[in-house]
Amino acid sequence: AVAAKDRVKEREKVQAPTERKRKESDGAKNGQLPASTEGSRRATINEQSTTVDVPPQSVVDDDFLVGRNSHMKYELRDTPGLVPICFYGVQHYLSILGSLILIPLVLVPAMGGTYEDTANVVSTVLFVSGMTTLLHTFFGSRLPLIQGPSFVYLAPALAIVNSTEFLELNGNNFKHIMKRLQGAIIIASAFQAFLGYTGLMRILLRLINPVVVAPTIAAVGLSFYSYGFPRVGSCIEIGVVQILLVITFSLYLRKISILGHRVFLIYAVPLGLLITWALAFFLTEAGVYSYKGCDPNIPTSNVVSDHCRNHVSRVRSCRVDTSHALRVSPWFRFPYPLQWGVPVFQWKMVLVMCFVSVIASVDSVGSYHASSLFVASRPPTLGVVSRGIGLEGITSILAGLWGTGSGSTTLTENVHTIAVTKMGSRRAVELGACIMIILSLIGKVGGFIASIPEVIVAALLCFMWAMLTALGLSNLRYSEAGSSRNVIIVGLSLFLALSIPAYFQQYGVSPSSNSSVPSYFLPYVVASHGPIRTALGW
């Protein structure tokens, strides 16, 4: 890098007389270069510079990279003091709290898991997120990005969970289903690692343009429409307050700074969650959801009184004391591989997850690109992309072995936090990952998170899935959005993404026979069956 800069300086000295004549002939004022010439020369110098595609031992190249990023408050290799680095490390994780914890809160109950199972999976997600983030900052893209579960995996996972073979089981099906979900994630992640390390992902990226990415990501967010507001409506005075608070913090209070930090913009989701949870607690303690002779802990099937039967859904959705996750959680628990049993491999599930892993990889490449522009002032090289996707495959294998119910991908919200806080330090993200690992060992932390009322979870997911849909469509700005060809592709893709699952509703098990499945999960039940029955089971 130093030699390259010396060569550039020598070339500038040799070309100085010629450039002075060109400046005068171009009519530039005060001997300044025109904007086009200045920009082209700056681009030439940038092309000779190095980027984040360097091994950990290459200190000189990494230092030269960081020296150019004066717009960042803390740059890639900066190490703030102990207090600031702890604060910013925790800040990164708080800003992506919704993506980190909401998936197990939806998936585990759908699998028939108990409160204790939900708390254990939440702790496992925190542990795996911390571990995979450390691996990614050292051996992956080496960008300050957090790894965690992705919503891209959720819809296929729900379709697997609600397939025919699992619906016919009785009792706690959690471990039985989780082992098969683990097997599918492990094989699909190995396929993802193969794409990354062999360089095949580069070929796929040439074929996948924004017109393909936009409707694909948007369809993932739209596919959860049946779960969102129907669950919010079960306790609308709490669910709507949650949605309005997050919208207010994100849109109308975003520019308010407290001690130099845009608190409402960065912590919109956790702040909204805490305020709404406190509101639900006060309403519960005030007796708003207490009905004479009705016990919220009695199963619905055992409720005899018609008066209580009419209020049982509202009581369980609105009250904050119906979950026993915090009480049954141990103080200390170490998540370990194969804690739910030996994974089971089924080709149908593996095939579905392989497609999902490709979509997750494309989403991660977008995060690499955006974060690299912030911390390195240029897009990532192909080497960074291949190394990052390859390691994401390895870390997703670890997620499958530990049993998180989802693969491990780069969380897009983390890029938003970097842009707002100007915090590009790898050390802050690494310390935050270590803190998450420590918290995951405290079982009560997972129990506390698992105690979040379901209506609040649904309200947060309404916002998160809406943002996922909008972020997917925002990729169209990199294409000719007004082209009739692109309009047809995007419109048809979004429409068929919702219409084709509706077509499958007339096949397989009828919704009326799935009495154990909530109505908002029925689209995922019928989507797991096909119009043709064969010996292969679909």
Cα–Cα dist 497/195, whole Å: 26
Task: Give, for 408, the enclosing helix (H) or strand (E).
Answer: strand 408-410
Within the chain, how many helices (H) and strands (E) appear? 25, 2
The residues, ordered by sequence, that sit 6+ positions from 344 with a Cβ below 8 Å of its Cβ are 179, 180, 182, 183
Residue 56 lies in a domain: no
Residue 283 lies in a domain: yes
Tokens representing residue 494 in the block? 């979004």
Residue 376 lies in a domain: yes
Tokens representing residue 224 in the block? 């959860």
Cα–Cα dist 402/391, whole Å: 17
Q: In 3D, which of 466, 457, 44, 497 has the Cα closest to residue 238?
A: 457
Residue 253 lies in a domain: yes
Neighbours of 532 (CB within 10 A): 7
Cα–Cα dist 39/43, whole Å: 6
Residue 324 lies in a domain: yes
Helix/strand/coil for 423: strand
Helix/strand/coil for 385: helix
Residue 277: what pLDDT? Answer: 92
The residues, ordered by sequence, that sit 6+ positions from 7 with a Cβ below 8 Å of its Cβ are none
Fill in the amino acid letter for 78: D
Contact criterion met (CB below 8 Å) for 431 and 116: no
Task: Give, for 36, the enclosing helix (H) or strand (E).
Answer: helix 35-47
**Domains: count for the chain:** 1
Residue 304 lies in a domain: no
Cα–Cα dist 450/459, whole Å: 15
Cα–Cα dist 145/134, whole Å: 10
Low-confidence ranges of the chain (pLDDT < 70): 1-70, 72, 164, 167-172, 291-313, 377, 504-538
Residue 31: what pLDDT? Answer: 38
Helix/strand/coil for 248: helix
Contact criterion met (CB below 8 Å) for 494 and 479: no
Residue 311: what pLDDT? Answer: 66
Residue 300 lies in a domain: no
Query: Of how many residues is the chain composed?
Result: 538
Residue 533: what pLDDT? Answer: 55
Residue 51: what pLDDT? Answer: 40
Tokens representing residue 402 in the block? 């530990």
User: 409: which strand partners?
Assistant: 148
Buried b (16+ CB within 10 A) or exposed e, 411-423: bbbbbbbbeebeb
Contact criterion met (CB below 8 Å) for 232 and 462: yes
Cα–Cα dist 360/354, whole Å: 10
| Residue 408 CA, distance from chain mean position | 9
Q: In 3D, which of 334, 377, 383 has the Cα closest to residue 43?
A: 377
Q: In 3D, which of 151, 253, 48 has the Cα closest to residue 461?
A: 151
Cα–Cα dist 486/65, whole Å: 38
Give strand ranges (E) for 130-221.
Answer: 147-149
Tokens representing residue 493 in the block? 């893709």
Distances (CA, A) of 108 to 229, 324, 394: 20, 15, 24
Residue 49 lies in a domain: no
Residue 241: what pLDDT? Answer: 92
**141 is in which domain, residue-wise?**
82-287+313-526
